Structure 1
Amino acid sequence: MQGTVDGFSYGLITPLVAYLMACLGGALGLRCTTRSMLVAQSWRPGWLALGSAAIGSGIWTMHFIAMTGFTVEETPIRYDKAMTFASLAVAVVMVGIGIFIVGYKGARGTALFTGGTITGLGIASMHYLGMASMRLDGVLEYHTLTVAASVVIAVCAATAALWAAGQVRGLLWSVGASLVMGLAVSGMHYTGMAALRVHLHGTTAPASGDSPAALLAPMLIGPLAFLLLAGVVVMFDPLMVMGRPTVVPVEQKPGIPAHPAVHRDSAHRLQFRPRRTVEHRAPRTPQNR
């Protein structure tokens, strides 16, 4: 028996909230990636790890917020707790690998392609592992070409977002990159859901698993709290808006001490440079000519 699938049982509320969560996680994570390129090597792993956790949490939160609006009319749905947690770990780890590649190798060429591909595959892996955590009296079937299209969407959009994050051009670039990242996650999710068909064996409730209300609501509190904390860390960072170092090095000539540069804002910089020494000579008179 074919199940009647409804992915929008709450209307447009769940897709919009899910997209906003994906954008929030992407904004924080990509901003941390940008920030890592402006610090010393010793601080870079910390910023990249924070960015990986933010993007992974945003992806996971987006997916399961969207899934709260997913129903199969003929049968109740349950979720396996262990596999649901595993999908979060997969998202953080795979996205982290891609971000660390771009963070250390740069957002260009082979490094960008490799990092974007791994990040996109992390988004897709999280989605389909999260779908596998569903328990119902039936089986899930997927249309192969639509699944492949969803993976391509995730890889291309994730690559574009990492490229934008690597430009280090300030807050607006990071906002744009986060919108692209949110589009990657949401587009991949709903394309993957379009590939889904549910073949039911019956209408009884599954023997194992927790209901969406009992499992998803408490589990979403942790990632949401983490995203809030990461947002506070990023917002209070001095380079959040500027996206550039606050100190501009002054060229130092041999034998002349350099003065520190003074930063006014991201668009205007004042540099105090040493004045040239001018030799004052006495006026020429008939006696000293």
Structure 2
Amino acid sequence: MQEMHQHYNAVLVVLSYVVSVLGSFTALQFALGISRAENPGQRWVAVLAAGTAMGGGAIWAMHFIAMIACNMGVQVTYDVVLTAISALLAIVACSIGLAVVSVGAVGWLNLLFAGVLMGLGVAGMHYLGMAAMLTSAQISYDGGFVVLSVVIAIVASMAALWLAFNLRGRLQMLGSALVMGVAVCGMHYTGMSAVDMAMGDTLPAGFAQGLSGDYLGMVVFGVVVVLLALALGLNIVRQQRRAALTI
């Protein structure tokens, strides 16, 4: 079988990092509301908002845009159902991690437990997203790189959870978001390094119905950035109103 090589669209690679940073910063802003919640309802709203920004924006959108950035030399579309489930998995995993850590003091034991849960969810999202690829290429994985990508996902998740409950200043959050973006991208591209592809002959069932398009990566980036920016803006306005009421 003829071995295939990956080539990346540099613009989409940069955009995948940008959306990861914006998603991380938005999640850190929403995480402020978890510790400030006055009742369980407010706490769960804050947890889900931060989990959605982190899982959907910082992690899944980064992953999907970076997948589209990868040119494998063959036609590729993406199964709609599996792609949607992978996004939901990332959001649920991040929300569970935030919920676990937010119970009581942030100790190393619950941080480790939550980080493992969230990291496994993030890694699961990545490989489920890979399974959503519909292409004639035959895909296999290097076990060593797969394990390394899971370890990176767990460590990055622990760092993200610690930062979510230990940062307050926006400049600190911005710096942390830049670092988190590197960690998320590191996990993704390590996972992509685990992939071995060989030329195949047959397109899978459902190929024609899969997600595709020359500008799909740009569209996903634009939609997610607009949603994150709106959510971030509304949250900042709400924080300012609360601060004004306490004066």
- TM-score, structure 1 length as denominator? 0.75
CA contact (8 A) 1:5 1:72 kept: yes
Tell me the distance in 2 between the aligned counterparts of 1:44 and 1:54.
Answer: 15
* Aligned equivalent of 1:256: none
Structure 2 Cα separation of the partners of residues 62 and 185 of structure 1: 8
After superposition, the Cα gap between the structure-2 partners of 1:162 and 1:177, relative to the gap in structure 1 and judged at 3 Å, is farther
Larger relative helix fraction: 2
* SS of corresponding position for 1:238: helix
Q: Which residue of 2 aligns with 1:208?
A: 206
1:22 Cα deviation from its structure 2 partner: 0.8
Length, aligned pairs only: 241
Residue 135 of structure 1: how far off its partner (Å): 1.1
Partner amino acid, structure 2, of 1:193: M
1:13 is the counterpart of 2:11: yes
- Structure 2: distance between partners of 1:165 and 1:32: 9
Q: 1:19 to 1:213 in 2, by over 3 A?
A: same
How far apart, in 2, do the equivalents of 1:220 and 1:133 lie?
A: 19
Q: Summarize the alignment of residues 36-55 of structure 1 with structure 2, pairs less than 5 Å apart.
A: 36-42=34-40, 43-55=42-54
Alignment of 1:123-162 (within 5 A): 123-162=122-161
Describe the SS at the equivalent of 1:46.
helix
Corresponding residue of 2:238: 237
Q: What percent identity do the matched residue pairs reach?
A: 33
- 1:56 equivalent in structure 2: 55
Residue identity opposite 2:71 in structure 1: T
Counterpart secondary structure, 2:191: helix
- 2-structure distance, mates of 1:126, 1:215: 23
Measure the CA separation in 1 of the matches of 2:162 and 2:240: 19
Tell me if the contact between 2:15 and 2:221 (Cα under 8 Å) persists in the aligned partners.
Answer: no
Which of structures 1 and 2 has the bigger CA Rg? 1
TM-score, normalised by the number of residues in structure 2? 0.87
5+ residue gaps, structure 2, are none
Between the aligned partners of 1:176 and 1:106, the Cα distance in structure 2 is 24
Q: Distance in 2 between matches of 1:5 and 1:227?
A: 34
Instruction: Give the whole-Å Cα distance in 2 for the aligned partners of 1:199 and 1:216.
Output: 25
Q: 57-66 or 186-195, which moves further after superposition?
A: 57-66
Matches within 5 A, 1:97-136: 97-136=96-135
**5 Å matches for 1:240-279?**
246=243
Higher relative contact order (CA 8 A, sep 6+): 2
Residues 41 and 180 of structure 1: is their aligned pair in 2 closer, same or farther, counting only changes over 3 Å? farther
Q: Give the AA of the match of 1:64.
A: F
Aligned to 1:250: none
- Structure 2: distance between partners of 1:216 and 1:118: 31
Is there any run of 5+ residues in structure 1 with no aligned partner, and where? 248-261, 264-289
SS of equivalent to 2:156: helix
The 3 A distance-change label for structure 1 pair 158 and 176 is farther
RMSD of aligned residue pairs (Cα, Å): 2.5
Q: What is the Cα deviation at residue 60 of structure 1?
A: 1.3
1:65-104 correspondence to structure 2 within 5 Å: 65-73=65-73, 75-104=74-103
